[in-house]
Amino acid sequence: MHNFIRYKFYREHKYLSFVLNDLERLIAKTNFQIAQEVVKVTEQFKAAIELLKGHAEYEDNCLHVLLKQKNSQLYEHIEEDHGTLDETLNNLQLLLDRVNSFVLASEKVEAGYQFYVGYRKFVGENLIHLHEEETIILPELHRLYSDEELKKVEAKTYAVMSSDDLIDMLQVLFPHMNASDKRALLSDIKECQPAKYAVIWPKIQLQIPEHELPIITL
């Protein structure tokens, strides 16, 4: 059993899962005969693509590089998934584009359905991908590095982010996290960027449920 008190990455997976699943629900209810509804799906799909690509790039450049430095090869399967991400998303985009290429309502509905089942399959596969990162990659990082060494990864990120950037990030992530996750992120920021934390906390605490404050307040 993994030691639950070790330093954790991947807390943002909770938000990533929400975005992808929320989009799946939207697509499921979309009437692909109505142009405005298709536009809404297209815009949210584009935003999801940008989020996924940015997240994969961060993991490759900041986490997997740590495994490479220790000659661990466990990251290779995950990076293979990242390597095929562009192709997978491009194929989904082509399915979505087909909706607008048809004139008949029945053809639009069928094209929308094909996009939906394709996207749903992708979401399911991505959940397995996230699971493997948290149950294979994270324990390997724990085996190879101390918590103090791992903390330096996020510290580099927080160092280049402004207080406003950090506030925006927390406002996006916190609605999808529990109190322990919130405390961990705030603790990291306070430890490596105390001046920024002093700016952040008065604003962020106003958005935290009152019953969580005793747990989160540092």
pLDDT tens digit sequence for 109-142: 999 999 999 999 999 999 999 999 999 999 999 9
pTM of the model: 0.90
Q: Report pLDDT for 4.
A: 62
Q: pLDDT value at position 140? A: 95
Closest CA to 88 of 130, 120, 55: 120
Question: What pLDDT score was predicted for residue 1?
Answer: 45
At position 25, the amino acid (one-letter code) is R
Q: What spatial distance separates the first Cα and last Cα of the chain, rounded to whole Å?
A: 29
CA distances from 58 to 52, 53, 161, 200 (A): 10, 9, 15, 23
Look at residue 5 in the predicted model and tell me its pLDDT: 80
Closest CA to 129 of 92, 89, 81: 81
Write down the pLDDT at residue 73.
84
Distance separating alpha carbons of residues 218 and 213, to the nearest angstrom? 9
- Rounded CA gap, 64 and 83, in Å? 13
pLDDT of residue 75: 74
Q: 31 Cβ partners below 8 Å, 6+ apart?
A: 37
User: What are the residue boundaries of the structural domains of the chain, listed by start?
Assistant: 13-145, 152-216
Rounded CA gap, 189 and 159, in Å?
A: 9
Residue 20: how many other CB atoms lie within 10 Å: 19
pLDDT beneath 50: ranges in the chain: 1-3
CB atoms within 10 A of CB 14: 15
